[in-house]
Amino acid sequence: MRSAVNVICNNRPGVLRDIAGAVAELGGNIEYTQQFVLERGVNMGKASIYMEIDGRIEELVDRLMSIPAVCEVSVHQPFDKIFGSRVIIIGGGAQVSQAAMGAVNEADRHNLRGERISIDTIPLAGEDAIADAVNAVERLHRASVLILAGALMGGRITEEVQRLQKEGIPVIALKMAGSVPVYADLVVTDPIQAGTFAVMHVAKTAVFDIKRVQGREF
């Protein structure tokens, strides 16, 4: 069974090695991890290490607390049980806000039925900035579909779209100038509808599948 633990520890070399070693000693498998230095609160300056682990959590908590550098260990639900699949929206501010409106409204219907779908947005301008953001989607935990909402996208952005598709993440593009719509899995004129389609593709309680309309324009 997969569970999550968050470890607050002293920020010093070797701590991550000790924590990972403790997990391995008990036969646990770290399926996801993130770490950062806390910048506020009573633990400011200490490190936070979050891990999703398949293994015996009860024994692991005691083992982790025995590590001298560890200050606190707490057990949580994994992110997919809380925030669920992520719809990522990148592009111009006006178009992004409309696509987000459609996605949030549709996600609300499915989340009321017990699903967990979250919407992440970032308004950006410029080919390099957008291309870098598309490139980063592959590294986002639980990212399931990307919406590119703008008036003109091509060049490096198109190259990153093609790389992302190879990793199994579909791309929905608004109808726009540039080469991105040529390579997108789905092209949608209305940004609100684009957001709706994205969530319907992710939702387990919907019957829409981008693969069945791949290459079409709505």
Distance (Å, whole) CA 19 – CA 37: 16
> How many of the other CB atoms lie within 10 Å of CB of 46?
18
89 and 56 co-located in one domain = no
130 and 209 co-located in one domain = yes
- Number of folded domains that form the chain: 2
| The last residue of a domain, from among 14, 47, 79 | 79
134 and 158 co-located in one domain = yes
89 and 65 co-located in one domain = no
Which residues of the chain, if any, have pLDDT below 70?
Answer: none
What's the DSSP call for residue 217?
A: B
| The last residue of a domain, from among 58, 79, 100 | 79
* Residue 218: inside a domain: no
How confident is the model at residue 209, as a pLDDT? Answer: 81
11 and 105 co-located in one domain = no
89 and 113 co-located in one domain = yes
Sheet with 2-9, strands from edge to edge, namely: 29-37, 47-54, 2-9, 70-76
* Residue 209: inside a domain: yes
Closest CA to 124 of 165, 103, 158, 95: 95
How confident is the model at residue 182, as a pLDDT? Answer: 95
How confident is the model at residue 14, as a pLDDT? Answer: 94
How confident is the model at residue 212, as a pLDDT? Answer: 79
Contact 2, 31 (CB under 8 A): yes
How confident is the model at residue 55, as a pLDDT? Answer: 79
* Residue 22: inside a domain: yes
CATH number of residue 42's parent domain: 3.30.70.260
| The last residue of a domain, from among 79, 112, 130 | 79
Q: Coil, strand, or helix at residue 174?
A: strand
How confident is the model at residue 94, as a pLDDT? Answer: 93
* Cα→Cα distances 35→61, 74, 144, 165, Å: 18, 15, 22, 28
Distance (Å, whole) CA 35 – CA 33: 7
pLDDT digits (tens, 9 = 90+) for 12-66: 999 999 999 999 999 999 999 999 999 998 999 999 999 999 978 888 999 999 9
For 51, phi then psi, to 5°, come to -135, 140
Full domain range(s) for residue 196:
83-213
59 and 139 co-located in one domain = no
Contact 28, 59 (CB under 8 A): no
Work out the angle at residue 145's Cα, subtended by the Cα atoms of residues 139 and 150, and round it to the nearest 5 degrees: 100
10 and 96 co-located in one domain = no
Closest CA to 95 of 193, 184, 164: 193
How confident is the model at residue 210, as a pLDDT? Answer: 83
CATH number of residue 197's parent domain: 3.40.50.10550
